[in-house]
Amino acid sequence: MILHNIELVDFRQFKGRQAIDCATGSPHNVSVIYGENGRGKTGIFRALMFCLYGDRSLSQDELSGEQKKEGLSLINEVTLKENIGSQVEAQVAISFSHQRKNFRIVRRVDGLMKTDGTIIQNPGGRVELQQTDENGNTQPVETDLEKITGQIQEILNSRLRDYFLFDGERIERLTRNTRERREEVRRGIRALLDLDALELANAGLKSLISQIEKEIGHKSTGELQRVYTHIDALNTKIDDLENAQELGTQELKRLEHKIYEISEMVSENEDTAAKERKRQELIKNSQDLKVEKDALKKEMVGYLNKSAQLVASQLIEQLREELEFRRHKGELPPSIRKEFVEKLLEQERCICGTSLGHDHQQERECLQEFLVKHYTPGLGSESLDLLLSLNRLSSANEGLANQFNRLLVKNKKLRDEIADLESKIKLLSDELKEGGTSVDDLIQERSRLEDDKRTLEREMDRQADEIARAQDDREDWLKRTNVLEKQQSQVDSLVARRDLTKETLAELKAIYDRFANEAKERLAEKSTEIFTRLADEGTQKDIKKISIDESYMLDVLNWTGQRRLGEISAGQRQIVSLSFIMALIQVAGNLEVALFMDTPFGRLSGVHRDHLLDTIPKMASQWILLATDTEFTEVEANALRQTNAWGKIYELVKEGEGITQIVEREVHQFTPKRKSIF
């Protein structure tokens, strides 16, 4: 960053519009802003910090309470007084160049003064940045605060600005042997050399690796491998089943062909076929008759329980005939009961109901004779009952015998018919066998083949079902695979990311070590080299070397190599600080930056001032020197004039209460108010 112009409008003690054009070109790169104490040199520095970074206070300001929060009042109090109750705007505009581009940044703040003298300053502010590239193309004005802040940070990072835009006090403080200052130097070195950025980059890479590894851990479960194994098993099963189906199809074709062949063979010989048909018909008839015979047998078995009766039929008949004979002879009582006949005689009535009076003596005598003749003692009435039973048995036996005979006849007939049929079947079978291949065998073979075919078809149906199930199953697993493969692909991608991040981290670590060590050594060498140019002989005898230790702490070594930072004078410390700052600029590189120093010579002896005035313009791109009348005397002016680097001189002139006027003077004609304090 090279400053070209600083324009102030009602900012602090600079009433109205005032401007400073900075010396920028080579060899004239030194601008001096000269003023006595209280004239506003720090106001210029404050304007710079406000405009570039929006700072409303400096670290050196001793603020308290509300002021600490709101910052200093930046608006010119005279202008505020002139416009009591009205809004007044203060503005700082800076034109600068950086990497062959020109920028103009304007920042404004407004506020008002109440009648009681209280100043109300708007906490917000407006800022705009305009950029013109090396070809003169001007970009639209940027007003977005965040973008502008980002751009300014890129140009001169706020963590570096303290090493280029500082006052003399700060220069001296930089090398004080306190823990805070040493830490500040350490921060400065790390910041300027980008070591802190490198450390943060490494920390970020480490964190990213850890983050990626966690993700890998979450997503990588080995599930996909298990699914692949399962799908492989399903594929094998389906292949096996499909092969079996293929073989089954071939076997079916073979069976069908064979069945067809046999059928052809069977139907080839009509005679054989007719005989076969006849034979089959006879077999069927025979079987039917056998069935009928079996039924007859069962019927006959039903009659067997009456067989004893039939066996005894002859004896029964003989006994019945004997009893009939005896009855015929009158040895058996008649079937009319004796009591009945006696009752008829007693009542003198005929069996027909006619009265047996005197006219019927003959009938009476006949009945009496009947009584005498048939009811004489001999075989009793039981024999008559037996005869009657035997008569009934004889009659039943006759029917039974007839029925049984009928069954026996039918049985015989069936047996004969069956025998006849079997004889015919045998005859036909013999004939068919004599004709060559047994059709029966063929048919049996065909039947067997048809059975095989049906079995095979059932098996193939089962296989087809199993294939369909396995395919459905595989489909489900494949869907799952898609999900898992996506996850696996993410895992692969994560692994690639992690590996690349690890490689980068390893590379950056190596770079950090190499670069940090190299930079520290160079910084120490360069600081010492500059120090020998700036320091007077006495100081050079005290301090032989500026060193930077492992933890980036700055120190000075005496001629015996002992650390002596705590023992050197304030002026010597200032020289060490400046040497270190100049070395930082040299070593860090690419730092096209203005050195903006507020009262840097306060503690320096004459020789040191001369050396500084001679050296800094040669090393820095631009030097803006804010100096008091006591530190920038005729001696310093002459010394600077001799470098031929002095391009601009502005004097801060107090014009009244609260008003400083920036007045440009001629470098060649400018005469400081004091010759020298020494």
Partner 1 sequence: MRDKVTIESILGQINDPAVRIIAEHSLRVARKALNMSEYSRKRFVVEEIDKIMPRALKVRANHDTT
Residues at the interface with partner 1 (CB under 8 A): 150, 153, 157-159, 191, 193-194, 196-205, 207-208, 211, 493, 496-497, 500-501, 503-504, 507-508, 511, 514-515, 518-519, 522, 525-526, 586-590
**Among 279, 371, 287, which Cα is nearest to 334's?**
371
Percent helix, strand, coil in the chain (nearest 5)? Answer: 60, 15, 25
Query: Which strand (E) or helix (H) includes residue 10?
Result: strand 2-11
* Cβ at position 525, least distance to partner 1 in Å: 7
* Cβ at position 633, least distance to partner 1 in Å: 33
* Cβ at position 104, least distance to partner 1 in Å: 22
Q: Please, which residue, 174 or 519, has the CB nearer to partner 1?
A: 519
Q: Please, which residue, 215 or 242, has the CB nearer to partner 1?
A: 215
Q: What is the CA radius of gyration of the chain?
A: 71
* Cβ at position 467, least distance to partner 1 in Å: 41
Residue type, 184: E
- 380-387 — which CB contacts under 8 Å span 24+ positions? 380/333, 381/333, 381/337, 383/323, 383/326, 383/332, 383/333, 384/327, 384/332, 384/333, 384/335, 386/319, 386/323, 387/320, 387/323, 387/324, 387/327, 387/332
Query: Which strand (E) or helix (H) includes residue 176?
Result: none
Q: Please, which residue, 426 or 618, has the CB nearer to partner 1?
A: 618
Place of tokens 């069956």: 418
Q: Please, which residue, 528 or 605, has the CB nearer to partner 1?
A: 528
Q: Please, which residue, 153 or 615, has the CB nearer to partner 1?
A: 153
Q: Exposed, middle or buried by CB within 10 Å (0-12, 13-18, 19+), for 52?
A: buried
Q: Please, which residue, 36 or 199, has the CB nearer to partner 1?
A: 199
Q: Please, which residue, 47 or 516, has the CB nearer to partner 1?
A: 516
Residue type, 405: N
Q: Please, which residue, 271 or 521, has the CB nearer to partner 1?
A: 521
* Cβ at position 504, least distance to partner 1 in Å: 4
Query: Which strand (E) or helix (H) includes residue 15?
Result: strand 14-21
Q: Please, which residue, 522 or 533, has the CB nearer to partner 1?
A: 522
Q: Please, which residue, 42 or 527, has the CB nearer to partner 1?
A: 527
Distance from the Cα of residue 175 to its chain's centroid = 56
Q: Please, which residue, 160 or 296, has the CB nearer to partner 1?
A: 160
Place of tokens 């004779």: 369
* Cβ at position 554, least distance to partner 1 in Å: 17
* Cβ at position 8, least distance to partner 1 in Å: 27
| Cα-based angle 505, 507, 509 (whole degrees, multiple of 5) | 65
* Cβ at position 137, least distance to partner 1 in Å: 25
**Among 69, 87, 66, 89, which Cα is nearest to 17's?**
89
Rounded distance between C-alpha atoms, residue 628 and residue 444, angstroms: 134
Residue type, 248: G
As a three-state string, the secondary structure of 625-676 is EEECCCCCCHHHHHHHHHHCCEEEEEEEEEEECCEEEEEEECCCCCCCCCCC
Q: Is 5 helix (H, G, I), strand (E, B) or coil?
A: strand
* Cβ at position 474, least distance to partner 1 in Å: 33
What is the DSSP code string of 425-478? Answer: HHHHHHHHHHTSS-HHHHHHHHHHHHHHHHHHHHHHHHHHHHHHHHHHHHHHHH
Q: Please, which residue, 187 or 326, has the CB nearer to partner 1?
A: 187
Rounded distance between C-alpha atoms, residue 218 and residue 213, angstroms: 9
* Cβ at position 197, least distance to partner 1 in Å: 4
Residue-wise over 497-525: b if at least 16 C-beta within 10 A, else e?
bbeebbeebeebeeebeeebeebbebbbb
* Cβ at position 191, least distance to partner 1 in Å: 8
Q: Exposed, middle or buried by CB within 10 Å (0-12, 13-18, 19+), for 551?
A: exposed
Query: Which strand (E) or helix (H) includes residue 364?
Result: helix 361-374
φ/ψ of residue 261, rounded to 5:
-60, -45
Q: Please, which residue, 50 or 632, has the CB nearer to partner 1?
A: 50
* Cβ at position 522, least distance to partner 1 in Å: 6
Q: Please, which residue, 83 or 153, has the CB nearer to partner 1?
A: 153
* Cβ at position 152, least distance to partner 1 in Å: 10
Question: What are the tokens at 480?
Answer: 């799952």
Q: Please, which residue, 448 or 514, has the CB nearer to partner 1?
A: 514
Q: Please, which residue, 272 or 501, has the CB nearer to partner 1?
A: 501
* Cβ at position 532, least distance to partner 1 in Å: 15
Rounded distance between C-alpha atoms, residue 154 and residue 388, angstroms: 150
* Cβ at position 521, least distance to partner 1 in Å: 9
What is the DSSP code string of 551-583? Answer: T--EEEE-TTS-B-GGGS-HHHHHHHHHHHHHH
**Among 553, 550, 581, 582, which Cα is nearest to 566's?**
553
Q: Please, which residue, 578 or 604, has the CB nearer to partner 1?
A: 578
Give bridge partners of residue 665 from the DSSP assignment: 649
